[in-house]
Amino acid sequence: MTTKRRWTSWAFNCAARPLWPWRTRDRKVLTASHTPVLAEEALRWLRIEPGGTYVDATIGLGGHAVRIASQLTTGRLIGLDRDAGALAISSERLKDFGGKVVLVQADFSRIDEVAQELSLPPVQGILADLGVSSFQLDTAERGFSFRLAGPLDMRMDSRSATTAADIVNETAESELADLLYRLGEERDSRRIARVIVRARPIRSTEHLATVVAGARTSRGRQKLHPATKTFLALRIAVNRELEALGQFLKRASATLAPGGRWVVLSYHSLEDRMVKQEFRRLGAEGVLNVLTRKVLRPTDAEIAVNPRARSAKMRVAEKLMPVAPAEKLAS
């Protein structure tokens, strides 16, 4: 069991943070690993300057962060995550970098406020690797996976109020159907919402997965588990992922130095569409130069060794020099 210990200070550097007791008791947590997706490509596009300041907005288990930090000499890496458990693991993993790495429990939608609170200079790069980590998916008690028996939770930040059980048990049927359709792109959303409402109360992942599987019409052989889209939609709703991404996309470019690189990895079409549109808008306003005309995907070889990479899409942009008003008039 994890203790409900809260952060006493919201930012710490990796050398200074003492171990939490639960981490030493829970071997699985201590050894959790996550193979970073498109790691070489992300690092290449970030073009790390050894003295630069970088933000990993979704540090997770520190897979990308280790690679960034090891290229820094006098530079710094700020790692954000809203999951205290992920930060505990990445702080352990990054402890040898000492004060070069600073971790903050924060939502990336607040990236500009965090930068201000830490008095950061404009940064040379921002990485966002969206979605959930394998640690979250593979920890049954977190309730993210239909494959593992656990409570219907799905909160990335365990301090937030709403769990998946709250949404499943308290949302009106038509609203639930809309949510499944909109966030999970679930074509059977109406039928699934109806059986969920009939089966209430639903408190566990197993129960929900069974109820949803019973509601699906069979359309030949299906590649996905019948509850995949329902779980995805609920996770996005519980964590208000699209709202957070929208704020991040609006606010992050203010933190970048001219020439700074911004790399975003997304895992489903709703996220990727938002990234594409916001990069395009900022490009048209002369704030960014979009470097990836076409989205970048992992190779078959990467997908073969890391199946979680299969839906990844990467987009990269570079912050432009602000144009002086006189130059704007002349152009």
Ligand X SMILES: C[S@@+](CC[C@H](N)C(=O)[O-])C[C@H]1O[C@@H](n2cnc3c(N)ncnc32)[C@H](O)[C@@H]1O
Residues that bind ligand X in the complex, under the rule CB under 6 A: 34, 36, 58, 60-64, 80-83, 86, 107-109, 129, 131-133, 156, 244
Residue 216 CB, nearest approach to ligand X (Å) = 27
Compute the least distance from the CB of residue 106 to ligand X, in Å.
Answer: 7
Nearest to 79 by CA among 133, 160, 20: 133
Helices 228-238 and 241-251: crossing angle in degrees, nearest 10, is 60
* 288-290 β-sheet, strand order: 11-13, 101-105, 76-81, 53-56, 123-129, 256-266, 313-319, 288-290
Between 30 and 197, whose beta carbon lies closer to ligand X? 30
Tell me whether residue 131 or residue 298 sits nearer to ligand X (CB atom): 131
Q: Select 203 or 308, whichever has its Cβ closest to ligand X.
A: 308
Give the C-alpha separation, 278 to 246, whole Å. Answer: 9
Q: Is 33 or 171 the residue whose CB approaches ligand X more closely?
A: 33
Minimal distance, residue 169 CB to ligand X, in Å: 24
Q: How far is the CB of 181 from ligand X (least distance, A)?
A: 22
Q: How far is the CB of 94 from ligand X (least distance, A)?
A: 11
Between 107 and 278, name the residue whose CB sits nearer to ligand X: 107
Q: Please, which residue, 111 or 193, has the CB nearer to ligand X?
A: 111
Closest separation in Å from C-beta 83 to ligand X: 4
**Residue 232: both structure tokens together:** 């995805």
